[in-house]
Amino acid sequence: MTDRPSEILAELREVSVEHRAPGRSLLNRDRVHALTGADATVAAGETVGVVGESGCGKSTLVKVLVGLQRPTSGTVLVGGRDIWQLSTAQRRRHIGRTVGMVFQDPSTSLNRRLPVERIIADPLDVHHWRGPRDRMRRVTELLHLVGLPASARDALPAHLSGGQRQRVAIARALALEPALLVADEPTSALDVSVRAQILNLLMDLRERLGLAMVFVSHDLQTVRRVSDRIVTMYLGRVVEELPVARIEHGRHPYTQALFSATPGLLRPMRPIPLSGPVPSAVHPPSGCPFRTRCWRSTDTCATAMPPYTDDAVGPAHRYRCFHPVTDPSDLHRAVIAAPGADRSVEEPA
């Protein structure tokens, strides 16, 4: 198990985010529960992978973490300070110096009208980074850091490839030497051929600069490879947090189902099929949100959201489930119990 470093760079405490449901009239009080009661921490030097199905709240969680989304309730601490107790100017300054953010699609996250130099220098200007000569030197340094030639400084984003644009976005995110880099699907909008290059660049920068990272991705193989800890989300809830070395011992049925769907990641022989659709984020089920698709659910699961329970290794591995998976043969039963499942699957030893 990875030792958990102690300095907490960012923390969510009981954070919820609600949006007005789209397409509804102003009189309609329906709300999308994008995030509900989420707790999460990121410590210096660690990489936290955030996983879960589309729409489960991963992007909302990271937007809250970097101050781009104000929570409806709960507390967001960045560098130990409650960011929503700060003035707008103080918040921007404080977050900018602690956290850098790389978005999914550099074609939309970069200003198309500005040359690369101005894009990268923007955080330096906003934060009054020393004098003009230092600013120029820093831009050159950043271009070099992300593997772009100095000549790229005059190019417009349209003149660059997708991979080069994402390098510019990474340079901008690192301009103020943050301790934490948050990357929301940083390679998924890129050509398959350059995804590995950008991922390798991020991993290289992480090592060289000693960065902590939050890494959101649908690519579970990659998340497993790059993360120290994994946060599993389902329908706006964080349902499990665990060290990557314990992924085979995921206690929440959803963690097991999610990772079983990627060949070779977990011991179950076949993907655990989940019945039924993901429930609506406007009207989530009572109690545990996963209960409507869970093969282990009982009436108890409808009564309340299960509290956090520490696994045997302590709070580094905790989950929210009344009926945690503790026996591998249960996973086998989940596979063969599904309608249409291949019942010839071997019972695990």
CB 217 to ligand ATP: min, Å: 9
Looking at the Cβ atoms of 72 and 75, the one nearer to ligand ATP is: 72
> Under the rule (CB under 6 A), what is the footprint of ligand ATP?
19, 22, 32, 34, 52, 54-60, 281
Looking at the Cβ atoms of 21 and 341, the one nearer to ligand ATP is: 21
Looking at the Cβ atoms of 21 and 145, the one nearer to ligand ATP is: 21
Identify whether the C-beta of residue 11 lies closer than 8 Å to the C-beta of residue 79. no
CB 52 to ligand ATP: min, Å: 6
CB 257 to ligand ATP: min, Å: 16
Looking at the Cβ atoms of 121 and 278, the one nearer to ligand ATP is: 278
Looking at the Cβ atoms of 56 and 169, the one nearer to ligand ATP is: 56
CB 24 to ligand ATP: min, Å: 10
Identify whether the C-beta of residue 254 lies closer than 8 Å to the C-beta of residue 262. no
Phi, psi at residue 42, to the nearest 5°?
A: -130, 125
Instruction: Indicate the residue type of 123.
Output: P
CB 108 to ligand ATP: min, Å: 14
CB 194 to ligand ATP: min, Å: 20
Rg (CA), the chain: 22
* Helix, strand and coil percent figures for the chain, each rounded to 5: 35, 20, 40
Looking at the Cβ atoms of 27 and 89, the one nearer to ligand ATP is: 27
Cα–Cα distance for residue pair 36/73, rounded to 1 Å: 9
Phi, psi at residue 107, to the nearest 5°?
A: -70, -25
Biggest CA–CA distance in the chain, Å, is 71
The two tokens of residue 161 are 């490839």
Residue 298, Cβ density class (10 Å: 0-12 exposed, 13-18 middle, ≥19 buried): exposed
CB neighbourhood size of 86 (10 A)? 16
